[in-house]
Protein backbone atom coordinates (compact mmCIF):
# COMPACT_ATOMS: atom_id res chain seq x y z
CA UNK A 1 0.00 0.00 0.00
CA UNK A 2 1.29 3.46 -0.88
CA UNK A 3 2.50 5.69 1.95
CA UNK A 4 -0.16 8.32 1.18
CA UNK A 5 -2.94 5.75 1.45
CA UNK A 6 -1.59 4.43 4.75
CA UNK A 7 -1.34 7.96 6.14
CA UNK A 8 -4.95 8.67 5.16
CA UNK A 9 -6.25 5.50 6.84
CA UNK A 10 -4.10 6.17 9.91
CA UNK A 11 -5.23 9.79 10.31
CA UNK A 12 -8.93 9.05 9.78
CA UNK A 13 -9.02 6.09 12.15
CA UNK A 14 -7.00 7.93 14.78
CA UNK A 15 -9.44 10.82 14.55
CA UNK A 16 -12.32 8.35 14.95
CA UNK A 17 -10.64 6.82 18.01
CA UNK A 18 -10.23 10.26 19.57
CA UNK A 19 -13.89 11.12 19.00
CA UNK A 20 -15.05 7.82 20.48
CA UNK A 21 -12.63 8.32 23.37
CA UNK A 22 -14.59 11.41 24.38
CA UNK A 23 -17.46 9.17 25.49
CA UNK A 24 -15.55 5.93 26.23
CA UNK A 25 -13.04 7.35 28.69
CA UNK A 26 -9.96 5.23 29.38
CA UNK A 27 -10.94 2.45 26.94
CA UNK A 28 -8.37 3.07 24.20
CA UNK A 29 -7.58 -0.62 23.69
CA UNK A 30 -11.26 -1.55 23.32
CA UNK A 31 -11.85 1.33 20.88
CA UNK A 32 -8.86 0.33 18.79
CA UNK A 33 -10.00 -3.29 18.70
CA UNK A 34 -13.54 -2.39 17.59
CA UNK A 35 -12.26 -0.01 14.90
CA UNK A 36 -9.85 -2.71 13.70
CA UNK A 37 -12.76 -5.14 13.43
CA UNK A 38 -14.80 -2.56 11.51
CA UNK A 39 -11.90 -1.95 9.12
CA UNK A 40 -11.52 -5.72 8.69
CA UNK A 41 -15.25 -6.12 7.89
CA UNK A 42 -15.77 -8.13 11.05
CA UNK A 43 -18.53 -8.24 13.65
CA UNK A 44 -18.08 -7.62 17.37
CA UNK A 45 -19.56 -9.36 20.40
CA UNK A 46 -19.38 -7.36 23.65
CA UNK A 47 -19.93 -9.46 26.76
CA UNK A 48 -20.16 -7.40 29.92
CA UNK A 49 -22.30 -6.20 32.80
CA UNK A 50 -25.00 -3.57 32.26
CA UNK A 51 -24.11 0.10 32.34
CA UNK A 52 -20.47 0.06 31.15
CA UNK A 53 -21.21 1.69 27.78
CA UNK A 54 -21.91 -1.06 25.26
CA UNK A 55 -24.71 0.87 23.52
CA UNK A 56 -22.79 4.15 23.75
CA UNK A 57 -19.78 2.56 22.08
CA UNK A 58 -21.87 1.29 19.15
CA UNK A 59 -23.54 4.68 18.64
CA UNK A 60 -20.22 6.53 18.82
CA UNK A 61 -18.63 4.21 16.26
CA UNK A 62 -21.50 4.78 13.83
CA UNK A 63 -21.35 8.57 14.21
CA UNK A 64 -17.60 8.89 13.74
CA UNK A 65 -17.49 6.87 10.52
CA UNK A 66 -20.55 8.51 8.97
CA UNK A 67 -22.67 5.37 9.04
CA UNK A 68 -26.37 4.80 9.58
CA UNK A 69 -27.25 3.15 12.90
CA UNK A 70 -30.06 0.98 14.20
CA UNK A 71 -30.65 -0.75 17.51
CA UNK A 72 -32.59 -3.95 18.07
CA UNK A 73 -33.55 -4.96 21.60
CA UNK A 74 -33.56 -8.75 21.59
CA UNK A 75 -36.37 -10.34 23.59
CA UNK A 76 -37.85 -13.86 23.69
CA UNK A 77 -40.83 -12.79 21.54
CA UNK A 78 -38.71 -11.13 18.83
CA UNK A 79 -39.34 -12.70 15.40
CA UNK A 80 -36.89 -13.06 12.50
CA UNK A 81 -39.07 -10.72 10.43
CA UNK A 82 -38.69 -8.06 13.14
CA UNK A 83 -35.02 -7.96 12.14
CA UNK A 84 -34.97 -8.64 8.41
CA UNK A 85 -38.21 -6.94 7.38
CA UNK A 86 -41.55 -8.04 5.99
CA UNK A 87 -43.60 -7.83 2.81
CA UNK A 88 -46.79 -5.79 3.28
CA UNK A 89 -49.78 -6.13 0.95
CA UNK A 90 -51.08 -2.88 -0.54
CA UNK A 91 -54.82 -3.23 -1.19
CA UNK A 92 -54.90 -0.24 -3.55
CA UNK A 93 -52.19 -1.48 -5.90
CA UNK A 94 -52.70 -5.18 -5.29
CA UNK A 95 -48.96 -5.59 -4.80
CA UNK A 96 -46.66 -6.48 -1.94
CA UNK A 97 -44.24 -3.82 -0.70
CA UNK A 98 -41.13 -4.76 1.23
CA UNK A 99 -40.70 -2.95 4.53
CA UNK A 100 -36.99 -3.17 5.44
CA UNK A 101 -36.13 -4.22 8.97
CA UNK A 102 -33.54 -2.60 11.25
CA UNK A 103 -30.79 -4.81 9.83
CA UNK A 104 -30.70 -2.47 6.81
CA UNK A 105 -28.19 -0.09 8.40
CA UNK A 106 -24.41 0.21 8.33
CA UNK A 107 -24.00 -0.39 12.07
CA UNK A 108 -26.56 -2.61 13.81
CA UNK A 109 -26.60 -2.95 17.59
CA UNK A 110 -28.06 -6.32 18.60
CA UNK A 111 -28.69 -5.59 22.27
CA UNK A 112 -28.73 -8.65 24.55
CA UNK A 113 -28.66 -11.08 21.64
CA UNK A 114 -28.81 -14.07 23.98
CA UNK A 115 -32.35 -13.16 25.07
CA UNK A 116 -33.87 -14.03 21.68
CA UNK A 117 -34.70 -17.54 20.54
CA UNK A 118 -32.18 -19.50 18.44
CA UNK A 119 -34.37 -19.03 15.35
CA UNK A 120 -34.21 -15.24 15.65
CA UNK A 121 -30.51 -15.31 16.47
CA UNK A 122 -29.91 -17.37 13.33
CA UNK A 123 -31.75 -14.82 11.18
CA UNK A 124 -29.30 -12.11 12.24
CA UNK A 125 -26.26 -14.37 11.98
CA UNK A 126 -27.26 -15.31 8.42
CA UNK A 127 -27.26 -11.61 7.54
CA UNK A 128 -23.82 -11.26 9.10
CA UNK A 129 -22.42 -14.11 7.04
CA UNK A 130 -24.14 -13.57 3.70
CA UNK A 131 -24.47 -9.75 3.83
CA UNK A 132 -27.93 -10.08 2.34
CA UNK A 133 -31.54 -10.72 3.32
CA UNK A 134 -33.91 -13.13 1.62
CA UNK A 135 -37.63 -12.56 2.24
CA UNK A 136 -40.41 -14.24 0.23
CA UNK A 137 -37.92 -15.50 -2.32
CA UNK A 138 -36.39 -12.07 -3.03
CA UNK A 139 -32.78 -11.43 -2.04
CA UNK A 140 -31.76 -7.91 -1.06
CA UNK A 141 -28.17 -6.82 -0.34
CA UNK A 142 -27.39 -5.10 2.93
CA UNK A 143 -25.81 -1.63 2.89
CA UNK A 144 -22.04 -1.48 2.85
CA UNK A 145 -20.08 -1.20 5.03
CA UNK A 146 -21.99 -3.47 7.41
CA UNK A 147 -21.11 -4.15 11.04
CA UNK A 148 -23.04 -5.92 13.79
CA UNK A 149 -22.16 -5.08 17.38
CA UNK A 150 -23.95 -7.60 19.60
CA UNK A 151 -24.06 -7.44 23.38
CA UNK A 152 -24.54 -10.05 26.06
CA UNK A 153 -25.19 -9.55 29.75
CA UNK A 154 -22.87 -12.02 31.48
CA UNK A 155 -24.59 -11.62 34.87
CA UNK A 156 -28.22 -12.58 34.27
CA UNK A 157 -28.56 -16.01 32.63
CA UNK A 158 -32.24 -16.64 33.32
CA UNK A 159 -34.51 -16.80 30.25
CA UNK A 160 -31.55 -16.62 27.89
CA UNK A 161 -30.45 -18.66 24.89
CA UNK A 162 -26.63 -18.75 24.84
CA UNK A 163 -25.07 -18.61 21.39
CA UNK A 164 -23.69 -21.99 20.36
CA UNK A 165 -20.03 -22.25 19.36
CA UNK A 166 -20.84 -22.39 15.64
CA UNK A 167 -22.63 -19.04 15.88
CA UNK A 168 -20.03 -17.45 18.15
CA UNK A 169 -17.54 -18.23 15.39
CA UNK A 170 -19.27 -15.66 13.16
CA UNK A 171 -18.00 -12.83 15.34
CA UNK A 172 -14.53 -11.61 14.48
CA UNK A 173 -13.80 -10.59 18.08
CA UNK A 174 -15.36 -10.87 21.51
CA UNK A 175 -14.45 -8.08 23.92
CA UNK A 176 -15.23 -6.88 27.41
CA UNK A 177 -15.31 -3.17 28.22
CA UNK A 178 -14.84 -3.54 31.96
CA UNK A 179 -15.35 -1.04 34.76
CA UNK A 180 -13.54 2.30 34.52
CA UNK A 181 -10.80 3.25 36.94
CA UNK A 182 -11.64 5.73 39.72
CA UNK A 183 -9.97 8.54 37.78
CA UNK A 184 -11.82 7.70 34.58
CA UNK A 185 -15.17 7.41 36.35
CA UNK A 186 -14.71 10.88 37.82
CA UNK A 187 -13.93 12.13 34.29
CA UNK A 188 -17.16 10.49 33.10
CA UNK A 189 -19.12 12.37 35.76
CA UNK A 190 -17.49 15.66 34.76
CA UNK A 191 -18.24 15.05 31.08
CA UNK A 192 -21.94 14.49 31.76
CA UNK A 193 -22.64 17.35 34.17
CA UNK A 194 -24.67 19.16 31.50
CA UNK A 195 -25.23 16.78 28.59
CA UNK A 196 -24.11 13.45 27.27
CA UNK A 197 -20.86 13.86 25.28
CA UNK A 198 -22.26 11.51 22.65
CA UNK A 199 -24.30 14.46 21.35
CA UNK A 200 -21.08 16.24 20.41
CA UNK A 201 -19.32 13.34 18.70
CA UNK A 202 -18.43 14.37 15.15
CA UNK A 203 -18.06 12.32 12.00
CA UNK A 204 -14.51 12.15 10.66
CA UNK A 205 -15.26 10.31 7.42
CA UNK A 206 -18.08 9.14 5.18
CA UNK A 207 -19.27 5.57 4.88
CA UNK A 208 -18.01 5.44 1.28
CA UNK A 209 -14.54 6.41 2.48
CA UNK A 210 -14.65 3.66 5.10
CA UNK A 211 -15.60 1.13 2.43
CA UNK A 212 -12.56 2.25 0.42
CA UNK A 213 -10.31 1.81 3.45
CA UNK A 214 -11.66 -1.71 3.90
CA UNK A 215 -10.48 -2.50 0.39
CA UNK A 216 -7.08 -0.83 0.83
CA UNK A 217 -6.03 -2.85 3.89
CA UNK A 218 -6.03 -5.95 1.70
CA UNK A 219 -2.67 -4.67 0.45
CA UNK A 220 -1.05 -4.62 3.91
CA UNK A 221 1.99 -6.92 3.87
CA UNK A 222 1.88 -10.08 5.98
CA UNK A 223 5.17 -11.94 5.89
CA UNK A 224 5.17 -15.71 5.33
CA UNK A 225 6.92 -16.22 8.65
CA UNK A 226 4.12 -14.36 10.43
CA UNK A 227 1.50 -16.42 8.61
CA UNK A 228 3.22 -19.47 10.09
CA UNK A 229 3.23 -17.77 13.49
CA UNK A 230 -0.55 -17.29 13.27
CA UNK A 231 -1.06 -20.93 12.31
CA UNK A 232 1.22 -22.11 15.13
CA UNK A 233 -0.85 -20.19 17.70
CA UNK A 234 -4.13 -21.55 16.36
CA UNK A 235 -2.73 -25.09 16.08
CA UNK A 236 -1.62 -24.90 19.72
CA UNK A 237 -5.30 -24.65 20.76
CA UNK A 238 -5.86 -28.16 19.42
CA UNK A 239 -4.99 -31.20 21.46
CA UNK A 240 -4.52 -29.45 24.83
CA UNK A 241 -6.06 -31.31 27.80
CA UNK A 242 -7.77 -28.13 29.05
CA UNK A 243 -9.38 -27.42 25.64
CA UNK A 244 -12.10 -29.80 24.48
CA UNK A 245 -12.27 -28.30 20.98
CA UNK A 246 -9.61 -26.07 19.44
CA UNK A 247 -9.99 -23.23 16.99
CA UNK A 248 -10.67 -24.03 13.34
CA UNK A 249 -8.84 -22.51 10.33
CA UNK A 250 -11.44 -19.74 10.48
CA UNK A 251 -9.56 -18.55 13.56
CA UNK A 252 -6.36 -18.20 11.52
CA UNK A 253 -8.24 -16.30 8.83
CA UNK A 254 -9.80 -14.01 11.42
CA UNK A 255 -6.40 -13.11 12.89
CA UNK A 256 -5.02 -12.46 9.42
CA UNK A 257 -7.88 -10.07 8.66
CA UNK A 258 -7.73 -8.02 11.82
CA UNK A 259 -3.95 -7.72 12.15
CA UNK A 260 -3.75 -6.02 8.75
CA UNK A 261 -6.40 -3.55 9.89
CA UNK A 262 -4.51 -2.98 13.14
CA UNK A 263 -1.30 -2.32 11.24
CA UNK A 264 -3.02 0.26 9.02
CA UNK A 265 -4.52 2.04 12.03
CA UNK A 266 -1.00 2.19 13.46
CA UNK A 267 0.25 3.81 10.26
CA UNK A 268 2.17 0.78 8.95
CA UNK A 269 1.90 -1.13 5.67
CA UNK A 270 3.21 -4.30 7.29
CA UNK A 271 2.21 -6.53 10.20
CA UNK A 272 4.34 -7.02 13.33
CA UNK A 273 4.31 -9.95 15.78
CA UNK A 274 2.94 -7.56 18.41
CA UNK A 275 -0.17 -7.08 16.25
CA UNK A 276 -0.79 -10.82 16.37
CA UNK A 277 -0.16 -11.03 20.11
CA UNK A 278 -2.57 -8.16 20.78
CA UNK A 279 -5.54 -9.69 18.98
CA UNK A 280 -5.04 -13.42 19.65
CA UNK A 281 -7.19 -13.61 22.80
CA UNK A 282 -10.14 -11.49 21.57
CA UNK A 283 -10.18 -13.41 18.29
CA UNK A 284 -9.65 -16.97 19.56
CA UNK A 285 -11.08 -17.17 23.09
CA UNK A 286 -14.68 -17.53 21.89
CA UNK A 287 -13.66 -20.03 19.19
CA UNK A 288 -12.48 -22.73 21.59
CA UNK A 289 -14.52 -25.04 23.78
CA UNK A 290 -13.07 -25.64 27.23
CA UNK A 291 -13.19 -28.80 29.27
CA UNK A 292 -15.73 -29.16 32.06
CA UNK A 293 -13.14 -28.32 34.71
CA UNK A 294 -12.48 -24.84 33.32
CA UNK A 295 -15.65 -23.04 34.37
CA UNK A 296 -13.98 -19.90 35.74
CA UNK A 297 -14.76 -16.56 34.07
CA UNK A 298 -12.18 -15.49 31.47
CA UNK A 299 -10.56 -18.93 31.56
CA UNK A 300 -10.44 -19.04 27.75
CA UNK A 301 -8.73 -15.64 27.62
CA UNK A 302 -6.06 -16.77 30.06
CA UNK A 303 -5.44 -20.00 28.15
CA UNK A 304 -4.98 -18.16 24.86
CA UNK A 305 -2.57 -15.72 26.49
CA UNK A 306 -0.58 -18.67 27.87
CA UNK A 307 -0.45 -20.18 24.39
CA UNK A 308 0.76 -16.92 22.86
CA UNK A 309 3.47 -16.65 25.51
CA UNK A 310 4.64 -20.20 24.76
CA UNK A 311 4.67 -20.13 20.94
CA UNK A 312 8.05 -18.92 19.61
CA UNK A 313 8.05 -15.63 17.72
CA UNK A 314 9.70 -15.80 14.27
CA UNK A 315 13.25 -14.49 14.42
CA UNK A 316 13.30 -13.27 10.82
CA UNK A 317 10.46 -11.68 8.93
CA UNK A 318 10.14 -8.74 6.60
pLDDT tens-digit profile of 52-110? 888 899 999 999 999 999 999 999 999 999 999 988 888 888 788 889 999 999 999 99
Same domain, 32 and 132: yes
Same domain, 125 and 228: no
Same domain, 238 and 119: no
- End residue of a domain, out of 167, 193, 215: 215
pLDDT tens-digit profile of 126-156? 889 899 998 878 889 999 999 999 998 776 6
Same domain, 169 and 51: yes
The pLDDT score that the predictor gives to residue 157 is: 63
- End residue of a domain, out of 161, 182, 215: 215
Same domain, 189 and 314: no
The pLDDT score that the predictor gives to residue 318 is: 66
Same domain, 138 and 230: no
85 part of a folded domain: no
- Residue 31's domain comprises 3-79+105-215
The pLDDT score that the predictor gives to residue 295 is: 66
**Total domain count for the chain?**
2
Same domain, 211 and 224: no
What are the residue ranges in the chain where pLDDT is below 50? none
- End residue of a domain, out of 188, 215, 242: 215
95 part of a folded domain: no
Same domain, 250 and 210: no
The pLDDT score that the predictor gives to residue 290 is: 87
Per-residue 3-state assignment (H helix, E strand, C coil) for the chain: CCHHHHHHHHHHHHHHHHHHHCCCCCCHHHHHHHHHHHHCCCCEEEEECCCCCHHHHHHHHHHHCCCCEEEEECCCCCCHHHHHEEEEEECCCCEEEEEECCCCCCEEEEECHHHCCHHHHHHHHHHHHHCEEEECCEEEECCCCCEEEEEEECCCCCCCCCCCHHHHCCCCEEECCCCCCHHHHHHHHHHCCCCCHHHHCCCCCCHHHHHHHHHHHHHCECCHHHHHHHHHHHHCCCCCCCEEECCCHHHHHHHHHHHHHHHHHCCCCECCHHHHHHHHHHHHHHHCEECCCCCCCCHHHHHHHHHHHHCCCCCCCC
The pLDDT score that the predictor gives to residue 315 is: 85
Same domain, 305 and 255: yes
57 part of a folded domain: yes
Amino acid sequence: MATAEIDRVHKRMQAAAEEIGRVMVGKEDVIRLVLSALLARGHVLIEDVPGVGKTTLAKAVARTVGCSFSRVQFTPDLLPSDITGVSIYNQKTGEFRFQPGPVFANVVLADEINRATPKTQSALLECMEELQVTVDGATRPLPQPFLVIATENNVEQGSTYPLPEAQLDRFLVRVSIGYPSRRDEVAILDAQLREHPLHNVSGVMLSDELALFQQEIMNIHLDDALKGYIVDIVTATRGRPDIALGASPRGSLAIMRIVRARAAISGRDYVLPDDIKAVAAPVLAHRIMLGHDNWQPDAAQHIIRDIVAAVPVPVKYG
